[in-house]
Amino acid sequence: MSASAGLGTAAGGLDARVVVERAAFRLDVALAVPAGSTTAVVGPNGAGKSTLLRALAGLAPLTAGRVALDGRVLEDRAGAPRGSPPRAAASASSSRTPALPAPVRAPERRVRAARARRRARGRRRQGARAPRRLGIAHLADRRPAALSGGQSQRVALARALVLEPSLLLLDEPMAALDAGTRLDVRDLLADELLRFGGAAVLVTHDPVDALALADRIQVLEDGRQVQEGAPPRSPRGPRRPTWPGSSA
């Protein structure tokens, strides 16, 4: 499982158009995920699912497109020169504060410091709750190599949630688990996604995971979106199935 915290904090969600070109492959996907909801991205190997997650996380540069989180632009390739670090530029520009008269700056610093202390206390409380809620508090002293697959996934999820991100990216969180552990982790993840207030993007090969965890499903093939919509709430799968390997 991989997770990423976005830069935004206000309510709003993810609004992205991701274009990534590599040799003979082109990914061109639009994705809108409201805060408090989960979108599952499914598709065959090579469809571009992991490339999409890497681009949303800022780990793969956009060829074109735009990524905005909670109304804050993280990357916009419309006017950015090729080869520039768009995430770093966005962070630098957003961290600048306008010049203020001296009498105003000192009180502002005190207010910001107080807010930072409150946020730190909140993170510590969240940091204490998440392991208990996920049933891993007793694993705090174990080395990673001593953890089972299910325990490792719980730890990865707890580490992501402790950050209280605005954007949670989940890459095949149950792919390496046995059937019994998969059911447990899926139920646990469903509960956590209901609590999560940000936007979540789940990449999975398994339609069952998508149906169980997502508010909307987007199907990718060859770097393009071929179907998008709300999942039917029945175990039989989509009414208009274009799942990988199925016929329309």
Q: Is the pLDDT of residue 42 over 90?
A: yes
Q: Is the pLDDT of residue 221 over 70?
A: yes
Euclidean distance between the first and the last CA atom of the chain, given in angstroms as a whole number? 31
Q: Is the pLDDT of residue 75 over 60?
A: yes
On whether residue 90 sits in a domain, the answer given is no
Q: Is the pLDDT of residue 248 over 50?
A: no
At 76, which amino acid appears?
D
On whether residue 84 sits in a domain, the answer given is no
Q: Is the pLDDT of residue 191 over 50?
A: yes
On whether residue 54 sits in a domain, the answer given is yes
On whether residue 22 sits in a domain, the answer given is yes
> Using one digit for the tens of pLDDT, what is the confidence trace for 126-177?
555 666 666 666 776 777 777 777 777 777 777 777 777 888 888 888 777 7
| Rounded Cα gap, residues 52 and 46, in angstroms | 11
On whether residue 215 sits in a domain, the answer given is yes
Residues 83-109, mean pLDDT to the nearest whole number: 35
Give the chain's mean pLDDT: 72
What CATH number did the domain enclosing 154 receive? 3.40.50.300
On whether residue 117 sits in a domain, the answer given is yes
Q: Identify the domain containing residue 177 by its residue range.
A: 13-79+108-229
| pTM of the shown model | 0.69
Is residue 13 within 8 A of residue 199, CB to CB? The reply is yes
Q: Is the pLDDT of residue 116 over 50?
A: yes
Residue 96, H or E segment:
none
On whether residue 97 sits in a domain, the answer given is no
| Rounded Cα gap, residues 160 and 177, in angstroms | 19
Give me the number of domains the chain comprises. Answer: 1
| Rounded Cα gap, residues 49 and 33, in angstroms | 16
Residues 21-28, mean pLDDT to the nearest whole number: 92
